[in-house]
């Protein structure tokens, strides 16, 4: 399993830059110069599509291309992005070329995405000519010696590829597991690792000149840790994005039936649009993808290794997912008995799903309320509230670095507690920080919290003795039960330092100490009434 090397010399205008790649089971792990070139441009222009890493790669981009930040490619890209050239569209457009430089398009989208993406590109054209943009991309790559940059980062990128390979070696082949569950395979499966695509992930199917179906999952590996948690989140991303290559075409083929149930979109449209799922077609596809990925995870990991739940997906607005999940269990039974494939069974899943529209009140029921877990607070518009540093000593050094991180990562709005008390925040998810009794906004809602913090102990699911303890927990937004509130509080302001620096999010609550040790964690019960341990 040797790595394919990039050329050392600066390329001519037509010399192709080779990717780095490695094969692990049925999966190709690659760092692709097409995607890195796009990510470099997005980073240098300050696009929200990428985010600076903590390992120095973004800094290396800034240093290498410092003399080219006024290149016309950036102005062109900004105009195109403002008109929709972003997310999976930009990524898949770059992967349609045979390499860097972007000269020859050799791949097409799968049939279900052609009309949608061509329609999106028509909108993009209002920002300028995409052909002129590609020419500027190639000019920037040549003049800025992108090939030289790619070569200079070869050791770092190879290490990232090897980290993925080592992570995958811990468990059976992920792709074999997925293919066996769906019942059929595509031509190839490639995980494209891009260090700056941290907050986003993309999955799609491209068809090459020989008619081969090539499936891609494009994202970053945020942590190189060889832990079951890291593998879980990698598998979650992979199962989700690759499932699009199975689901999208089936949703498209049956969309006349799905369209008859379009009334089901109205109750969830705000949460869907907050996640860039701005049509019923996309919302349906995401429901099926997420149900399938959840089931794949459950079958791949032992219960003691990692448990999966539909609850977080429902909280994100995918409130009909349990209907699909129940159908998938029936599919598995039929597959065991008859060998039927996912695509062959799909019409039965469709029939069950569209029947929800016959009784929408029952279908919706109480599913719109916030149900957790903690990481599902981080969607849509978000506000962070902290104690006023002029009133509470220690806020600047112990809490504000966390707030700054949230601003960078989640683009949150930030208010002091005294400012927040004067605002209407019912339409925004809330992050609240501050030691017990120091955040005046949170003080209004202390009776809603199912835990208590005392100077010598924390009372949660049990009593935790200590003087450096803190709690991270989620609850429904006190002003809007459809949204969430994440509370980070502790015994002292000093104990709040690094209060979100431990691995967390899949559960509702965590008790930790200042060494980042998780002393207790879990999910609340009674979520249709009073939340409790």
| pLDDT digits 0-9 by tens, 122-156 | 999 999 999 999 999 999 999 999 999 999 999 99
pLDDT of residue 208: 95
Element (DSSP H or E) covering residue 215: strand 213-219
Res. 246 pLDDT band, cuts 50 70 90: very high
The domain defined by 374-522 folds into Chitobiase; domain 2 (3.30.379)
User: What CA–CA distance (Å, rounded) separates 267 from 9?
Assistant: 57
**Residue where the block lists tokens 């598998």:** 235
pLDDT of residue 329: 98
User: What CA–CA distance (Å, rounded) separates 292 from 311?
Assistant: 14
Strand pairing category for 382-386 and 429-433? parallel
Q: Is 99 helix (H, G, I), strand (E, B) or coil?
A: coil
Asked if pLDDT for residue 95 goes beyond 90, the answer is yes
The mean per-residue pLDDT over the stretch 511-518 comes to: 94
User: What CA–CA distance (Å, rounded) separates 447 from 454?
Assistant: 15
The mean per-residue pLDDT over the stretch 203-208 comes to: 95
Cα 520 to its chain centre, rounded Å, is 26
| pLDDT digits 0-9 by tens, 271-283 | 899 888 989 999 9
Query: Which part of the chain is CATH 3.30.379?
Result: 374-522
pLDDT of residue 309: 75
| Residues near 526 by beta carbon (within 8 Å), at least 6 away in sequence | 532
Question: Could you tell me if 39 and 187 are in contact, meaning their C-beta atoms sit under 8 angstroms apart?
Answer: no
pLDDT of residue 371: 87
Q: What b-and-e string marks burial along 127-144, b requiring 16 or more CB atoms within 10 Å of the CB?
A: bbeeeebbbbbbbbbbeb
Q: DSSP letter for 461, please.
A: S
| pLDDT digits 0-9 by tens, 436-488 | 999 999 999 999 999 999 999 999 999 999 999 999 999 999 999 989 999 99
| Residues near 163 by beta carbon (within 8 Å), at least 6 away in sequence | 221, 224
| Portion of the chain with pLDDT greater than 90, in percent | 80
Res. 14 pLDDT band, cuts 50 70 90: low
| pLDDT digits 0-9 by tens, 290-339 | 999 999 999 999 887 777 778 889 888 999 999 999 999 999 999 999 99
Cα 458 to its chain centre, rounded Å, is 33
Question: Could you tell me if 274 and 381 are in contact, meaning their C-beta atoms sit under 8 angstroms apart?
Answer: yes
Asked if pLDDT for residue 392 goes beyond 80, the answer is yes
Cα 90 to its chain centre, rounded Å, is 17
Q: Which residue has the higher pLDDT, 392 or 230?
A: 392
The percent helix, strand, coil of the chain (3-state, each to 5) is 45, 15, 35
pLDDT of residue 109: 95
Q: Which residue has the higher pLDDT, 362 or 223?
A: 362
pLDDT of residue 54: 87
pLDDT of residue 72: 97
pLDDT averaged over the chain?
A: 92
């Amino acid at each position: 399993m040797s790595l394919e090397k990039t050329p050392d010399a600066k390329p001519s205008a037509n010399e192709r830059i080779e990717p780095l790649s490695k094969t692990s089971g049925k999966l190709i792990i690659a760092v692709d110069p097409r995607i890195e070139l796009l990510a470099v441009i997005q980073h240098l222009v300050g696009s929200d599509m990428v985010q600076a890493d903590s390992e120095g790669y973004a800094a290396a981009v800034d240093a290498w291309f410092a003399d080219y930040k006024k290149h016309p490619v950036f102005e062109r890209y900004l105009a195109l992005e403002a008109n929709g050239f972003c997310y999976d569209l930009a990524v898949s457009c770059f992967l349609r070329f045979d390499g860097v430089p972007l000269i020859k398009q050799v791949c097409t989208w799968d049939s279900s995405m052609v009309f949608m993406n061509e329609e999106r590109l028509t909108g993009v054209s209002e920002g300028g000519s995409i052909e002129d943009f590609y020419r500027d991309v190639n000019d920037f790559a040549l003049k800025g010696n992108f090939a030289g940059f790619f070569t200079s980062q070869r050791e770092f990128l190879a290490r990232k590829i090897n980290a993925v390979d080592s992570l995958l070696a811990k468990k059976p082949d992920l792709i074999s597991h997925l293919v066996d569950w769906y019942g059929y395979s595509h031509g190839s499966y490639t995980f494209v690792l891009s260090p700056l695509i941290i907050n986003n992930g993309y999955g799609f199917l491209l068809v090459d000149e020989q008619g081969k179906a090539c499936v891609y999952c494009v994202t970053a590996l945020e942590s190189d840790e060889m832990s079951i948690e890291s593998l879980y989140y990698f598998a979650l991303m992979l199962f989700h994005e690759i499932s699009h290559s199975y689901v999208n075409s089936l949703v498209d083929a049956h969309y006349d039936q799905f369209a008859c149930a379009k009334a089901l979109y109205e109750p969830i449209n705000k949460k869907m649009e907050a996640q860039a799922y701005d049509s019923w077609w996309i919302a349906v596809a995401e429901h099926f993808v997420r149900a399938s990925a959840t089931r794949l995870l459950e079958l791949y990991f032992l219960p003691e290794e990692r448990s999966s739940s539909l609850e977080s997906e429902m909280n994100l607005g995918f409130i009909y997912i349990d209907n699909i999940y129940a159908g998938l269990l029936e599919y598995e039974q039929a597959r065991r008995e008859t060998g039927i494939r996912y695509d062959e069974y799909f019409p039965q899943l469709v029939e069950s799903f569209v029947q929800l529209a016959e009784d929408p009140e029952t279908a919706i029921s109480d599913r719109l309320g916030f149900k957790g877990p903690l990481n599902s607070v981080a969607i849509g518009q978000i506000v962070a509230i902290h104690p006023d540093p002029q009133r509470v000593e220690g806020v600047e050094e112990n809490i504000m670095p966390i707030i700054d991180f949230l601003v960078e990562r989640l683009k949150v709005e930030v208010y002091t507690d005294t400012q927040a008390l004067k605002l209407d925040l019912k339409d925004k998810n809330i992050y609240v920080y501050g030691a017990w009794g120091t955040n005046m906004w949170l003080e209004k809602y202390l009776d809603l919290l199912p835990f208590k913090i005392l100077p010598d102990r924390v009372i949660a699911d049990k009593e935790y003795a200590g003087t450096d303890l803190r709690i991270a927990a989620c609850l429904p937004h006190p002003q809007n039960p459809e949204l969430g509130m994440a509370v980070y509080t502790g015994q002292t302001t000093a104990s709040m330092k690094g209060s979100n620096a431990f691995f967390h999010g899949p559960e509702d609550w965590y008790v930790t100490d200042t060494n980042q040790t998780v002393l207790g964690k879990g999910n609340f019960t009674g979520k249709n009434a009073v939340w409790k341990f």
